[in-house]
Amino acid sequence: MPESAWKFLFYLGSWSYSAYLLFGTDYPFFHDPPSVFYDWTPGMDVPRDIAAAYLLQGSFYGHSIYATLYMDTWRKDSVVMLVHHVVTLLLIISSYAFRYHNVGILVLFLHDISDVQLEFTKLNIYFKSRGGSYHRRHALAADLGCLSFGFSWFWFRLYWFPLKVLYATSHCSLRVVPDIPFYFFFNALLLLLTLMNLYWFLYIVVFAAKVLTGQVRELKDLREYDAAEAQSLKPSKAE
């Protein structure tokens, strides 16, 4: 539970801040994605409010690589999770260095909202049976959080992300800055991120199918190993 509580607070704060940058300031990036490249020049100044978001996110994902390897529970998707953290940190560092920071804020906003709902749902799963008794309000919150999480993952990561970010970086960038540097490198990382989003969405679809067919009657994380699998992993992990 401490892992989920910490991640929930972080993602809630980071997503709220990116939402503030996109909707509470004059940045037009969400409503006008091609604007992320307007007036782009190599070595341009990074606004302090965006630089603060980059410092926060870069520190978090740097720590997340270490935590996935040595601190977090090992799950079926831990290898993919590790690749995700490395790719995300590369995107943060490279987009700051190449001055594609406007794109970065849009990417962070579209991704962090799903993590907020995931950790919220996991916390309520823990709370619903705390103290050896059943808590109906937390069970309801977990069910609603699960539905909201699945919808937001599809809408933000698989619909808006390609529509706004990939469209801007792969198409609009060449029209605004025809000789834009590191075009293929940057877009390759974003496409890899999209593939991982699709990979995790399959877990969501499988879970939904098991609920609808009655194979699962209670919310649980399908990425967790069952007791037999966990026992068989112990020697190999120690090795």
C-alpha–C-alpha distance, residues 155 and 172, integer Å:
22
Mean pLDDT of 15-23: 97
Mean pLDDT of 119-135: 80
Task: Please report the pLDDT score of residue 55 as a whole number.
Answer: 96
CA distances from 126 to 72, 139, 218 (A): 17, 9, 12
Q: What is the pTM of this model?
A: 0.86
What is the amino acid identity at position 9?
L
Mean pLDDT of 55-76: 87
Pairwise pLDDT comparison (144 vs 234), residue with the higher score = 144
For 128, the 3-state DSSP assignment is coil
| Cβ(123)–Cβ(25) below 8 Å | no
| Residues counted in the chain | 239
Confidence band (pLDDT; 50, 70, 90) for 237?
A: very low
Does the pLDDT of residue 134 top 70, yes or no?
yes
Mean pLDDT of 96-102: 96
The percentage of residues in the chain with a pLDDT greater than 90, rounded to a whole number, is 63
Task: Please report the pLDDT score of residue 136 as a whole number.
Answer: 80
Query: Which of 107, 108, 100 is CA-nearest to residue 180?
Result: 100
Q: Where are the domains of the chain?
A: 1-29+100-218
Pairwise pLDDT comparison (135 vs 139), residue with the higher score = 139
